[in-house]
Amino acid sequence: MLITRAKVPIETELERRNHLLKRVGGELVGPCPVCGGRDRFAVNVRRQLWNCRQCAKGGDVIDLVRHVDNVSVAEAVTTLTGEQARPMRTATTAPPAKVNNGDDERQRLEATHRIWRESVGIAGTPGEAYFERRGIALGDVPSYGGLRWHPLCPWESGTAPGVVARFTDAVTGEAGGSWRRPVDGG
């Protein structure tokens, strides 16, 4: 079962845990369930997003359960729904990278170029939805064209759907590396 913010509102999950917050305008404000404090934790009820300024964390209701219980996405979904989460789609395990003396940098750059070529524009993908769930409008992101979506991005010992960004040299514009973020539910 795929859980959405609409199915389990953040304020409902906080109430279930007896963590009551004070309403201030369109937000609920109070102590963080993890680090405490007085007013460092806030929930935007309309957008269904939370943020703790002290912990420097935030997100949707799944991220909240992960933060409070220190659990995986699957365990958070189980907590919220009482059902097991579907495993993330992965392809067959990729072979471990071969290390050739002196060739590491070249191989890393080749992998960066390959991943970038295999990725597609982020608009209309689960990657765009990932940013929207976190309250980030892609039009507000500098270098929006530098974010892409890869449905089977190489990750750890396999693959996972994810967002890809490419780093380039400020002077030459040549690719120098990449940032990848797996996105559950790809």
Identify the domain boundary among 50, 66, 81.
Answer: 81
pLDDT at site 129: 84
Domain span at residue 72 reads 10-81
Tokens standing for residue 88 = 């993330």
Q: Which of 127, 186, 128 is nearest to 152 (CA)?
A: 186
Domain end call among 81, 113, 133: 81
Residues 65 and 109 in one domain: no
Residues 76 and 109 in one domain: no
Q: pLDDT by residue (tens digit) across 22-59?
A: 998 889 999 999 988 888 899 998 889 999 988 888 98
Question: What is the count of structural domains for the chain?
Answer: 2
User: What is the structure's pLDDT at 3?
Assistant: 46
87 belongs to a structural domain: no
- Contacts for 94-101: CB closer than 8 Å, 24+ residues apart: 94/154, 94/157, 94/158, 94/159, 96/157
| pLDDT (0 to 100) of residue 41 | 93
Count of CB atoms situated within 10 Å of the CB of 28 = 20
pLDDT of residue 1: 43
pLDDT of the residue at 42: 93
Q: What is the mean pLDDT of each run of 10 residues along the chain (186 residues)?
A: 61 89 90 87 91 89 91 85 56 47 73 84 83 78 71 82 81 77 70
Per-residue model confidence (pLDDT) at position 142: 60
In this prediction, residue 84 carries a pLDDT of 56
pLDDT tens digit sequence for 44-54: 988 899 999 88
Q: What is the reported pTM?
A: 0.45
If asked whether residues 72 and 120 sit together in one domain, one would say no
In this structure, are residues 150 and 115 in contact, taking their beta carbons and an 8 Å threshold?
A: yes
